[in-house]
Amino acid sequence: MFLKANTNYDGNLLVAALSDEDADRVVSLLVNGKRINIDTPGHDIHYDKPKEFTEVLVSFLKDV
C-alpha cells in the first residue's frame, strides 16, 4: 500500500509529494501494490487527515 498526497508544483518545481509517475513506479515495485490517493497537500497524511489515514490503515490490516 502506498498513500499519496496531492502533487504540488510551483511552476515547474515539484514542492510536495511525488509526481504521479513516481508514485506509480513505487507501486509497481510492491508485491500486490496498491496506490491510495489522499486529498491533502503535505507529507503528513497521518496528521493532516487522521480519520482517513486510520480508515485506510485498518482496512489494509484487515486484508493481510
Q: How many domains are there within the chain?
A: 1
DSSP for residue 7: P
Q: Please tell me the distance from the alpha carbon of residue 3 to that of residue 30, in angstroms, as a whole number.
A: 13
How many helical (H) and strand (E) elements, i.e. helices and strands, does the chain have? 3, 4
Q: Please tell me the distance from the alpha carbon of residue 11 to that of residue 4, in angstroms, as a whole number.
A: 21
Global pTM reads 0.77
Domain that includes residue 18, residue range: 2-63
Q: What is the pLDDT of residue 59?
A: 94
Residue 10 φ/ψ, nearest 5 degrees: -115, 95
Per-residue tens of pLDDT for the chain, all 64 residues: 999 988 888 888 887 668 889 999 999 999 989 999 999 877 789 999 999 999 999 999 998 8
